[in-house]
Amino acid sequence: MPALHLLRDLGCSLIPKNLASSARKRILYYLQKYPGTVIPGEELMVVGGISDWARRVRELRVEFGWSIVSGVTAKEMFADGGVPIPGINPAKLATDDYILIDTNQDRDAAHRWNVANEIRGEGLSIRDSILKYLRLNIGKAVTGEELRYVAGDRQEWPRRVRELRTELGWPIATKNTGPARLARWRIRP
């Protein structure tokens, strides 16, 4: 127990309190210092100074709109022919690795996550869930994490997005098919 407390104290001392006073703020501050860099979960645990660091990362994504991708989602996106994150080898990512993709906060993310949660609970097929979610967010960029969540965390969600686009003709723009700045999936109006 003393070693655990020392580790937590170390994490809390890494970032001055005037810059980040809570675990969530320390984790965000750290991720913002290293955008586009793979950061292991254990490192975020030390920086956060708490054992419930993963919940804080989820809050940053869900409630505060930060584009943080997990190793799982990055691997699934790449495995289905998606564009890899520049400088990142998806094969080397661990499940609890995290990457801050975009340093701009998406303030509409909390609303989209509430919508995603409702759709996820409707018992639709993966493809129908994704389509419904995209149709409710026409013209808005959505993240792979959001689509993965709507799909019930199933691994085949990227394939279903591709089917919607290529086989069923839905005008879904991706980083490959849309503007160069697009790093998320969205449905064109």
pLDDT digits 0-9 by tens, 63-114: 888 989 888 888 887 776 665 677 787 778 898 999 998 888 888 888 888 8
pLDDT at 182 over 60: no
pLDDT of residue 5: 65
Whole-number percent of the chain with pLDDT over 70:
81
Q: How confident is the model at residue 116 (pLDDT cuts 50, 70, 90)?
A: very high
pTM value is 0.66
The pLDDT value recorded for residue 184 is 47
Read off the DSSP letter of residue 122.
T
- How many whole angstroms separate alpha carbon 6 and alpha carbon 62? 30
d(CA 97, CA 35): 13
Instruction: Report the 10 Å Cβ neighbour count for 109.
Output: 22
Residue 176: the pLDDT is 63
Half-sphere exposure of 72 (CA within 13 A, CB side): 13
The stretch 145-162 carries a mean pLDDT of 91
Triad 80, 134, 38: Cα angle to 5°? 45
Q: Is pLDDT above 70 for 24?
A: yes
Average pLDDT over residues 27-52: 91
Whole-number pLDDT of residue 186:
46
Average pLDDT over residues 114-137: 94
Give rounded-to-5 percent helix, strand, coil for the chain: 50, 10, 40
Instruction: Tell me the CB-side half-sphere exposure of residue 151, using CA atoms within 13 A.
Output: 22
Q: Where are the beta strands (DSSP E) in 60-150?
A: 67-70, 97-102
Sequence letter at residue 142: V
